[in-house]
């Protein structure tokens, strides 16, 4: 399926940190409260369980705002109107904005495509973390993570209304477990790279808390098998 995407990049006075993505999400979520795509809550405050149409990320000190479908209008208004951002009481002036509009594919493919995680992938919930810790060999852990990653892609597909008609083959090339934080709570994340027979838009997130910038992937276009 084809996806129309807007990617907005903001350069601020000071380099941002990865966890600033969550703060900016809160700030813009309040500004655009009337649009549930901005914050993943309905008008009664309940969570909306779908793949986020707006994703907030900090990469290499720059703020990235990715939007599609219901999120496109938020990206446009942010580009047109936002002059500064509030990071929990600390204001950052926006020095430069760059907006890119493009159409790309989200679909299963015949070839395997190589991706790497630009931000930590939150693969494990409490239950499968315990299972992961009990696995003894790297090969067992690798297979376990590959199943989770394939499941993440299937979940995104269902949320987008895309039917996966063939098997998804995931091969984790390399990975490293790292410590990170979500809402101030210590979490386990993974960095690394993988092959999969699936076309996924650059800068989309996979796994948990993708709206807050986790699990951001970018493809290496020269690496296709």
- Mapped onto helix, strand or coil, the DSSP state of residue 106 is coil
Q: Are 83 and 157 in contact (CB under 8 A)?
A: no
Look at residue 88 in the predicted model and tell me its pLDDT: 83
Residues 6+ apart with CB under 8 A from 83: 93, 94
Task: Write the DSSP assignment of 132-189 as a string of letters.
Answer: HHH--SHHHHHHHHHHHHHHHHHHHHHHHT----S---EEEEEEEEEEEEETTEEEEE
Cβ-based neighbour number of residue 221 at 10 Å: 9
**Binning pLDDT at 50, 70 and 90, where does residue 150 land?**
very high
DSSP letter, residue 46:
P
Confidence of residue 223 (pLDDT cuts 50, 70, 90): low
Give the pLDDT confidence score for residue 34 in this predicted structure: 84
Task: Compute the mean pLDDT over every residue in the chain, rounded to the nearest whole number.
Answer: 92
**207 in Cβ contact with 122 (< 8 Å):** yes
- In the chain, what are the domains? 2-103 (3.30.70), 107-224 (3.30.70.1900)
Q: Which two tokens stand for residue 213?
A: 């910038």
182-216 pLDDT tens trace = 888 888 999 999 999 999 999 999 999 999 999 99
pLDDT at 185: 85
Q: Out of 11-25, 36-50, 148-162, pick the least confident.
A: 36-50
Q: Which residues contact 102 (CB under 8 A, 6 or more apart)?
A: 4, 5, 7
In this predicted model, what pLDDT tens digit does every residue of 42-68 receive, in sequence order?
776 677 789 999 999 999 999 999 999
Q: What is the pLDDT of residue 58?
A: 96
């Amino acid at each position: 399926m084809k996806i129309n995407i807007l990617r907005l990049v903001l350069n601020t006075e000071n380099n941002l940190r990865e966890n600033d993505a969550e703060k900016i999400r809160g700030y813009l979520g309040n500004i655009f409260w009337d649009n549930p795509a901005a914050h993943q809550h309905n008008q009664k405050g309940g969570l909306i369980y779908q793949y986020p149409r707006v994703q907030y990320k900090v990469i290499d000190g720059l703020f990235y705002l990715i939007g599609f479908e219901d999120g496109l209008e938020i990206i446009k208004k942010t580009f047109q109107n936002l002059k500064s951002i509030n990071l929990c009481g600390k204001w950052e002036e926006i020095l430069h904005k760059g907006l890119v509009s493009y159409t790309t594919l989200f679909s299963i493919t015949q070839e395997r495509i190589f991706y790497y995680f630009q931000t930590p992938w939150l693969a494990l919930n409490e239950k499968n973390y315990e299972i992961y810790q009990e696995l003894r060999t790297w090969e067992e852990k690798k297979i376990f993570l590959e199943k989770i990653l394939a499941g993440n892609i299937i979940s995104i597909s269902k949320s987008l209304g895309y039917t996966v008609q063939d098997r998804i083959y995931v091969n984790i090339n390399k990975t490293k477990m790292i410590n990170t934080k979500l809402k101030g709570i210590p979490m386990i994340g993974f960095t690394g790279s993988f092959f999969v027979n699936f076309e996924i838009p650059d800068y989309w997130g996979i796994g948990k808390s993708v709206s807050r910038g986790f699990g951001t992937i970018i493809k290496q276009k020269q690496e296709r098998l």
